[in-house]
Structure 1
């Protein structure tokens, strides 16, 4: 089969082209043009380009975006800067809250300063994971899940009903995954609790389970083409046809689907995990007032939520955001009920124990 040649910018550049009037002009005109800046660490396409331009023009606040691709790296960088961070807003996944909170890296979120807080679907803003120690710690903006993505011109749906497809000889050298995320999935595949909550009182069993998952991935290392870190990486690998299938987040996969790439996603029969991304304010943020102005502005309307979905591929947490998506965009963020029934959300209760075990295991897999 002739290798397809695609310009990745054609796939990823549409977000800026399709979202012209994203923010609420009435809101922004009421915002004080205080000037200064706001520093944000976030993932690619989480701040729509049109929104950023309008926000800067109407508030006088310069938005400095530093792209991140991994929660652990972001934690380490923030911890290195504490107690005087250079960042104001981070994008932390809800299941990683405790790690940041226990290290005093996040400030409790004052939702009274966010007039647009009510625009978030309460399924996300008022869920159990969103409140810790009586405080909110982040504004939910996008939700996602770990999926098995595949090129529909190279792989059939029948071949990807199980996570085993990633470790089959048929697709040797044509797969990719994020090791840390795959550790949880492999534990789930083996019949264990990938959140490790079930083993909080049995650290020896927890260690044995992580060791078993680690050995599985080391044993199957010759089959994988690449361990990757960011959504942009796996998008490029699919576009270049370096891989035929891979573990991914649904967002980067949906972005390719929406741009016409022959890709599909599934939640395999063993199940998978979901997560929610939030905007959080750093403890001792240097520009805290501007941080609240930014978060309130980006929560201003469902059109902004739809633009974030369109750009990132992740599912918006905003009320009525889907009303501003095309039929294809809606389809790329939907899954059959039987697959959704296999999904559970990442949980944070055992994170300290889990990542103390998983992080060294990940490094051992890379080094093997």
Structure 2
């Protein structure tokens, strides 16, 4: 049992102290009556394998993980399945909450059922974006940001301080990025509000800005090797040296650094965006009690948060998680203060307008 991220004594002690008997026969009878499973849609490495094994052994509840790589695809799938979704727990980025909530796809969290809610750093759990319509809609688990990642054998740290390097002739055919994410960054490069909150009362200006960003990416399309969708694909391209420079989430980049790959990452001078991943409960989910059991268990200790960081490279939202990271792991999840000053968080207020414009623009870029 020593290899488990959450050891048995800590799990049972935490549960007993809070009055939540994760392994009690009475609770498991109720869970088993629902099918003895919990269905989770999430990103790769967001459910630590050691946690999964122990959770299943101690609760009798099977965790069925379906990997996702895109918020938009996940939204469309969930919307198509309503009113009877197949998923219980899903992973929604905080800045996409409103889209899911307004479409009546999420259930508000009953935090009274989560004895371990207090293990989340209140910077995340009690922030403005996490409370909508007076309700909590997700448990923050990991935070991240959009970075410029580069192979240090080919690209200098100074070059990585501007997004312009990503679009330079020097690295033609050796770059990659996620188009939808780059749309926000390109708007930022041009001096606009990539969140589009400033243009909520001026939809014509918003449309013109998206058109300008779209045309920029079409113009520079001959330089990019590939548009990609998921972090694992980015990692593989870097390892194979198909690319030496790319837009990335910090998580996949940090994982490569921790594996010893010669990778660096920067928050460029033009700025970038941060985001928070949350675990959410789908409205009308098939196994609500099991969903709360899963959610409370995965919030149980900083060791679990550290395990999620080790596997994914994203920054844990759990109190004390950094105490269980190596010096290299800590270094790969931190940035200089002057770069952090360039960071702002994605916001959701203008999402309906923003993605109504951006999503068609992305398809136009792909087709160009």
For normalisation by structure 2, the TM-score amounts to 0.94
Shift, 1:159, TM fit: 1.5
Counterparts of 2:263 and 2:104 in 1: how far apart (Å)? Answer: 41
Counterparts of 1:318 and 1:108 in 2: how far apart (Å)? Answer: 21
**8 Å CA contact 2:160, 2:265 repeated in 1:** no
Please show how residues 333-352 of structure 1 align to structure 2 within 5 Å: 333-352=333-352
Shift, 1:25, TM fit: 3.0
Q: Which moved more, 1:43-52 or 1:26-35?
A: 26-35
Shift, 1:21, TM fit: 3.2
Does 2:2 align with 1:22? no
Greater than 2 Å deviation, 4+ residue runs:
18-25, 27-30, 32-35
Does 2:261 align with 1:275? no
**8 Å CA contact 2:48, 2:308 repeated in 1:** yes
Cα-to-partner distance string for 1:10-38 (whole Å, 9 max, x where unaligned): xxxxxxxx963325331468313333100
Counterparts of 1:137 and 1:308 in 2: how far apart (Å)? Answer: 21
Please show how residues 174-323 of structure 1 align to structure 2 within 5 Å: 174-323=174-323
Cα-to-partner distance string for 1:164-212 (whole Å, 9 max, x where unaligned): 0110000000000000000000000000000000000000000000000
The answer for the alignment partner of 1:161 in structure 2 is: 161
Counterparts of 1:162 and 1:180 in 2: how far apart (Å)? Answer: 19
Counterparts of 2:210 and 2:83 in 1: how far apart (Å)? Answer: 33
The answer for the alignment partner of 1:5 in structure 2 is: none
**8 Å CA contact 1:22, 1:307 repeated in 2:** no
Counterparts of 1:307 and 1:219 in 2: how far apart (Å)? Answer: 42
Counterparts of 1:21 and 1:189 in 2: how far apart (Å)? Answer: 41
Counterparts of 2:323 and 2:93 in 1: how far apart (Å)? Answer: 25
**8 Å CA contact 1:142, 1:316 repeated in 2:** yes
Q: Secondary structure at the match of 1:237?
A: helix
What root-mean-square deviation, in Å, do the aligned CA atoms of Structure 1 and Structure 2 show? 1.1
Figure out how many residues of one structure are paired with residues of the other and give that number: 351
The answer for the alignment partner of 1:11 in structure 2 is: none
Shift, 1:67, TM fit: 0.1
Cα-to-partner distance string for 1:107-144 (whole Å, 9 max, x where unaligned): 00100000000000000000000000000000000000
Structure 1 gaps of 5+ residues are: 1-17
